[in-house]
Structure 1
């Protein structure tokens, strides 16, 4: 089926390509140029170029790209040309006959202070912006994430899925690299999923989905990269906004964004406080088998009551040394405290349904997270053509402490203290060559040191268990170079990245040390072809890897419960992936279609497997489930996706996405199980050959109701999926939001209902040790949080909801510019 669909899509792409080629005519000419800020000579992105045909009175045009360049193809004629940008004075070129390609050169726009507060939209920023090596999704207009977090924002980005446990996936793969402003950041923290739930959505400007990363980016993340770009103040003078949110279950949140910009400095700050309660549920039904018959069943019903309070603060100062260079320093701090109470009713029954035992397990867990990060950035623009040098230094400290008191048949307390110190050094050099070519080179060093102390105290026997103490270091030195050019309608970007990795694992408790070193090369190829102004193809190739995390390398056993245990594997090797991506973009008037076909081949694939062991617990032989990561032989992943936007009018907008993927895993795993009573050892052989097909889709509708009320509805469905050891059911969820501007458009009220039907539940059936010969079958349902209803109020001062941000003097710190 997949092969037929792939062949059909290729045929459609080919037919479109031939048809578009046939339509081309030599009568067209190009009008090009570059638009910059007259005060700083910085490029202005999304400036509007308007062409009015003096013969037909037809109006056409285009917008400038990130570097201020524009190129518009149009028939030969007489044109009146206007250049416009919000809060800048319009420039008009007198009517002139243009019969050949014309370059207007560098066009300098001056700021128009009188129009700063006008509510005028000249060129509305599109929801999706396609670049040669990335797709950019602007989230500012998304009401369904108001009052939410970064996790909610990512869950509403096409190609991305966030499961109920907070795991982020890109095109169905959870091995995705998450960056903040193009760099690893303390905002992601030690626990990425939990940290993303603490970063308010109001702080995010856009998300870049990079499925075919160029050599400029880290090779980490076999599925690709998600780059979260935070908001930065750009408008002249003092301005800002205040955001307040209340909701049920308990949600109190406020954030303040302030910005002061003068000719020499740009001071930006954002602060956020969040107080939240998140109830949830987990239910499991485990059936234990012996020789194909039911031996016993174990039922666990767990209720979560999670409460957290967190503070985020970021202060930065950009100093304009001169018109071509700037120095920016910033400090980020986060402090959060959580209290999680889970109550579990546990019962065990024989095959006839008679009770073997019943008890209540209560786990009262407290957690504190603290992050501190210093960043320093220097930019030197040698000229107005993109020749520049960028230097970055970043130092971050993350501390996490977890402590739990467990009331059980055998009470215990446990605690985990982790401290991570991360340093980053980066240098990027960009040299334009001629009009349409560019050379880049750079270095990035990531240096991580992590210490973890896991301690268990068994209170019933009053004995002290030393548990585990770990030291982990990972140093990665990377060098890259790449060259790109545009020849007529064809663009290419070729790069090579070299990374030298050294990992040390020091188990202080057992006095064991392990060291791994490897040097790898990662070539990248990104190609683009513009058939017409509205149609284009992209083709990307990249080699990526997945390094095992410290938790995956730590062989110490960490218990979720007495019968469910996780342990790492110090023998893990990196996973290497070769990725191919073919994309097609077409615009038919008010309809925009963006589609891709992709294929990934991974070797040494890291997967978590479940195996069963027999252990003596409370004097009885008990089946224990052990989860451990291993390297399997290979995985082949393929799929296609469609993203469509249809805007029939200014009051009605639709968007939708569909992602279909299939992955095939090959590999075998063998392990020994020893019966503690008899001493007999049995070898278990597991075959992990499996083919899994799944999909997910989104639909989004925005409608303007009477009284200028905005109504937004979003539906999401993730299809069922299977692998060698589990089946997961599909998930349907819906979000609903209403928005109304008040106080002369300086304020906005948003009513948001997240998960309207309270249906976002993770339901799975797991088979251990294998589907073919299970010794236990687990049916489980997990709901991370209940339906959320919230009311959000935003007030803006000295800025306007519809006023476009300007790029003057700002460095888009997203890991480098695009070609």
Structure 2
């Protein structure tokens, strides 16, 4: 689409110069233009003055890419120079002679903008700042022409989803937005997948956070939906990005501004399953700017029911488990941030930020279990469990950027310190068959993940069609996890439980990296971007009881190639990259999590990284009012990290889930997206994800004997969404999604569905709005049915989620701002180098992941 816009912009620019002046200026005449500047007939004198500026859409403060810029001599009315704005809306006119001029800015779908009385002196550098274009809505023979930002944008290595106008997500969080992004799948717990892979990195404004490493789903709950501007899905990361994230990278861009003055936005929502309150303010005066924000969200009244049936064979004994559970959960999530930026000089800036995130998630479950040993029924037992998942995260960053006179030439330095204190505990009351309290059990698991990162990047253009980038980075990470079990009678003090393991994991992981990237664009608009990155990882890991863990240091060379070309209105993209996925601390932590003693999880400190080769071919085209994007991809992973289950040798009927490098994992499939502009006020989107996956490897079976494991099958998901704008500020939006069954190494995890409908009414003064949204209101509950099996066990698990909901939202803006020209700000550190537990919520007793995302 960018190539189409560019060609169209060139055509319009030529038309601007060549058409009669009366057509350009209906209200006043100037002489027709005889020849374009720079042609044989052009005798325009050159000078040393310069004009720069930024062109934006006045309605959404978004750059107008490839807008046409024409400069006219005020005395003669002749066009003397012209150019086209870049992807950020920026334009530059160089070597202009002193004199008096007028400037015309135009683009399809917007009203022409004329800036009169421009007087230039010799050597003057005139910055016009931000120039706002208004949408052009005209009725010509019953045809409406209007300018709207594209819902989906394509770049050479990513897909960009513009989330600005999401109505139904008001009062929600980032999870509600990501469900609507093509290529992504978000389950009902908030776990995110990209093309079926949960091995992804999530960035927030290109900045890392240790809270992301601990739990992606919990981190997303802390980001208010109405503060998200765009979501970038980077399917083929270049060498500039960390090598981590075999599935790709998701970059969430929140709304920012470069306004002068002070403002405060208040957003709130209340519903039967959750409430939220957000306050975000900013102040800017001259060279300095400050931002202060806070967001809090409470979840409550979340009910689940479970049913578990499993049969295991261990030590020659067959044990059948039948278990039912009733549970509920509640949570408080908050994020608070303070930001500062200052222009040290015209070409130098410094930014600093402080962000604190807090999570207080508590779940309660009542379990009733009956065991059958070789067909003989045992006595039923009860277990009431309360699990706590608590964390406090702090991120501090200081960044510096130096730009040069040559466009696109810049050098930056970035630093980041992150610390996350995470607690995953549970308390269990063990009940007799008659419901009486028999004893009490407690698992304490406290973790600290802290890291310091320094990086520097430099980029410079080589001629006008080539860009060279290179840089280096160091990450210094330390994670500790302390875990133990305690027991007590119906009353009295807790003491250490002898039969359950206790210990401490100490994990140091330092990474040194360097990269170089090269971008080349031909005269025929071919774009090629290639790069090479090398990362070396140094690991020092040990447990208090077992001593050092034998994990060798390792290095990896990561190539990447991306290419794009527009042919007759069709944009073609090709990409290849190699990625590495280091195990996260959720997979490594050896804590024995027995909150449900029939379904136990434990980490594996000896995991090795997995390596993935990604291939993709993308096609996109606009056919009248329909935009279509189709991507075909392949993914081959070695040493794939996967969940593996086996019967317990010591606990009757129990199944233990751990992690292994199982061998190879292949996935081949397609993602298809279509957006239909039914009218200028209504659009409909359809998307589907279909891929075939195979998993194979070895795992430890009964009595320590290795067994070969294989599984394969199709994974299918899809959905649609629609939004409409009506008169008097009314709007509506609907969304529906269906996820099919997911193939796992030892079985199939059940699918689910999700849908929401919302309406919104803007106030007349555009200062606020009120909205109403309903979720899953036609369904009493969803059932996720999972079947797992091996020669030693069979497990059937049903989870019933009662998530029918409705919420009322309100937003209001206080303060008055004036537009100022945006300036490049210093880049921030982005770490994206560690695998989490499928991006999902950390299980009670699990340690935090050690990575944070990066650009």
Q: Common fold, TM-score beyond 0.5?
A: yes
Secondary structure (helix, strand or coil) at the match of 2:212 reads: coil
* 308 and 502 in structure 1: CA distance in 2 versus 1, 3 angstrom threshold: same
Q: Residue 523 of structure 1 contacts residue 542 of structure 1 at CA under 8 Å; is this kept in 2?
A: yes
Q: Which residue of structure 2 lines up, in the alignment, with residue 434 of structure 1?
A: 463
Q: Deviations over 1:295-314 (max 9, x none)?
A: 66433222332222233211
1:319-398 paired onto structure 2 within 5 Å: 319-348=342-371, 356-383=378-405, 385-398=407-420
In the TM superposition, what is the alpha-carbon distance from 1:479 to its structure 2 partner? 0.4
Q: Which runs of 5+ in 2 are unaligned?
A: 17-36, 38-49, 71-82, 94-102, 118-124, 139-144, 432-438, 832-854
* 205 and 276 in structure 1: CA distance in 2 versus 1, 3 angstrom threshold: same
Name the structure, 1 or 2, with higher relative contact order (CA <8 Å, separation 6+): 2
1:230-269 paired onto structure 2 within 5 Å: 230-249=254-273, 251-269=274-292
- Is 1:487 aligned to residue 549 of structure 2? no
Q: Which residue of structure 2 lines up, in the alignment, with residue 676 of structure 1?
A: none
In the TM superposition, what is the alpha-carbon distance from 1:290 to its structure 2 partner? 6.6
* 478 and 711 in structure 1: CA distance in 2 versus 1, 3 angstrom threshold: same
Q: Residue 579 of structure 2 contacts residue 611 of structure 2 at CA under 8 Å; is this kept in 1?
A: yes
Distance in 2 (alpha carbons) for counterparts of 1:225 and 1:117:
33
In the TM superposition, what is the alpha-carbon distance from 1:527 to its structure 2 partner? 0.6
Distance in 2 (alpha carbons) for counterparts of 1:597 and 1:107:
47
Q: Residue 399 of structure 2 contacts residue 827 of structure 2 at CA under 8 Å; is this kept in 1?
A: no
- Alignment match of 2:544 (pick from 485, 498, 508): 508
Distance in 2 (alpha carbons) for counterparts of 1:815 and 1:91:
41
- Please identify, of 326-335 and 397-406, the stretch whose mean Cα deviation from structure 2 is larger: 397-406
1:381-460 paired onto structure 2 within 5 Å: 381-383=403-405, 385-409=407-431, 410-460=439-489
Q: Residue 247 of structure 1 contacts residue 790 of structure 1 at CA under 8 Å; is this kept in 2?
A: yes
Q: Which residue of structure 2 lines up, in the alignment, with residue 308 of structure 1?
A: 331
1:479-558 paired onto structure 2 within 5 Å: 479-488=514-523, 489-532=525-568, 534-558=569-593
Q: Residue 272 of structure 2 contacts residue 301 of structure 2 at CA under 8 Å; is this kept in 1?
A: no
* 112 and 487 in structure 1: CA distance in 2 versus 1, 3 angstrom threshold: closer
Secondary structure (helix, strand or coil) at the match of 2:648 reads: strand
Q: Deviations over 1:283-334 (max 9, x none)?
A: 123142679x996643322233222223321111110112221111111112
1:556-705 paired onto structure 2 within 5 Å: 556-615=591-650, 622-673=652-703, 684-705=705-726
* 650 and 123 in structure 1: CA distance in 2 versus 1, 3 angstrom threshold: closer
Distance in 2 (alpha carbons) for counterparts of 1:574 and 1:786:
37
In the TM superposition, what is the alpha-carbon distance from 1:603 to its structure 2 partner? 0.9
Q: Which residue of structure 2 lines up, in the alignment, with residue 680 of structure 1?
A: none
In the TM superposition, what is the alpha-carbon distance from 1:744 to its structure 2 partner? 1.9
- Is 1:720 aligned to residue 737 of structure 2? no
In the TM superposition, what is the alpha-carbon distance from 1:179 to its structure 2 partner? 1.8
Q: Deviations over 1:511-554 (max 9, x none)?
A: 3443420011101101111224x421111110001111123233
Distance in 1 (alpha carbons) for counterparts of 2:796 and 2:634:
32
In the TM superposition, what is the alpha-carbon distance from 1:752 to its structure 2 partner? 1.3
* 294 and 462 in structure 1: CA distance in 2 versus 1, 3 angstrom threshold: closer
Distance in 2 (alpha carbons) for counterparts of 1:684 and 1:485:
54
* 445 and 190 in structure 1: CA distance in 2 versus 1, 3 angstrom threshold: same
* 69 and 578 in structure 1: CA distance in 2 versus 1, 3 angstrom threshold: farther
Distance in 2 (alpha carbons) for counterparts of 1:405 and 1:536:
57
In the TM superposition, what is the alpha-carbon distance from 1:119 to its structure 2 partner? 13
Secondary structure (helix, strand or coil) at the match of 1:194 reads: helix
Q: Residue 231 of structure 2 contacts residue 251 of structure 2 at CA under 8 Å; is this kept in 1?
A: yes
- Alignment match of 1:753 (pick from 746, 753, 774): 774
Secondary structure (helix, strand or coil) at the match of 1:236 reads: strand
* 417 and 520 in structure 1: CA distance in 2 versus 1, 3 angstrom threshold: same
- Is 1:464 aligned to residue 485 of structure 2? no
Secondary structure (helix, strand or coil) at the match of 1:623 reads: coil
Distance in 1 (alpha carbons) for counterparts of 2:287 and 2:13:
41
Q: Residue 343 of structure 2 contacts residue 349 of structure 2 at CA under 8 Å; is this kept in 1?
A: yes
In the TM superposition, what is the alpha-carbon distance from 1:721 to its structure 2 partner? 3.1
Q: Deviations over 1:571-624 (max 9, x none)?
A: 321110111111111112321111111111111111111111332x5xxxx122
Tell me the matched-pair count. Answer: 742
In the TM superposition, what is the alpha-carbon distance from 1:747 to its structure 2 partner? 0.9
In the TM superposition, what is the alpha-carbon distance from 1:776 to its structure 2 partner? 3.3
In the TM superposition, what is the alpha-carbon distance from 1:634 to its structure 2 partner? 1.1
Secondary structure (helix, strand or coil) at the match of 1:557 reads: coil
- Is 1:46 aligned to residue 64 of structure 2? yes
Q: Which residue of structure 2 lines up, in the alignment, with residue 150 of structure 1?
A: 174
In the TM superposition, what is the alpha-carbon distance from 1:384 to its structure 2 partner? 5.3
- Alignment match of 1:82 (pick from 105, 117, 135): 105
* 365 and 198 in structure 1: CA distance in 2 versus 1, 3 angstrom threshold: same
- Is 1:164 aligned to residue 164 of structure 2? no
Secondary structure (helix, strand or coil) at the match of 1:145 reads: coil
Cα RMSD (Å): 3.9
Distance in 2 (alpha carbons) for counterparts of 1:287 and 1:815:
43
Q: Deviations over 1:768-804 (max 9, x none)?
A: 4x1xx3x43222122566122111111123469xx99
Distance in 1 (alpha carbons) for counterparts of 2:187 and 2:297:
22
In the TM superposition, what is the alpha-carbon distance from 1:707 to its structure 2 partner? 4.7
Q: Which residue of structure 2 lines up, in the alignment, with residue 99 of structure 1?
A: none
Secondary structure (helix, strand or coil) at the match of 1:516 reads: coil
Q: Which residue of structure 1 lines up, in the alignment, with residue 509 of structure 2?
A: 474
Distance in 1 (alpha carbons) for counterparts of 2:815 and 2:137:
12
Q: Residue 262 of structure 2 contacts residue 282 of structure 2 at CA under 8 Å; is this kept in 1?
A: yes
* 285 and 815 in structure 1: CA distance in 2 versus 1, 3 angstrom threshold: closer
* 350 and 553 in structure 1: CA distance in 2 versus 1, 3 angstrom threshold: closer
1:132-147 paired onto structure 2 within 5 Å: 132-147=156-171
Distance in 2 (alpha carbons) for counterparts of 1:814 and 1:589:
42
Q: Which residue of structure 2 lines up, in the alignment, with residue 8 of structure 1?
A: none
Q: Which runs of 5+ in 1 are unaligned?
A: 1-16, 53-60, 72-79, 95-105, 674-682
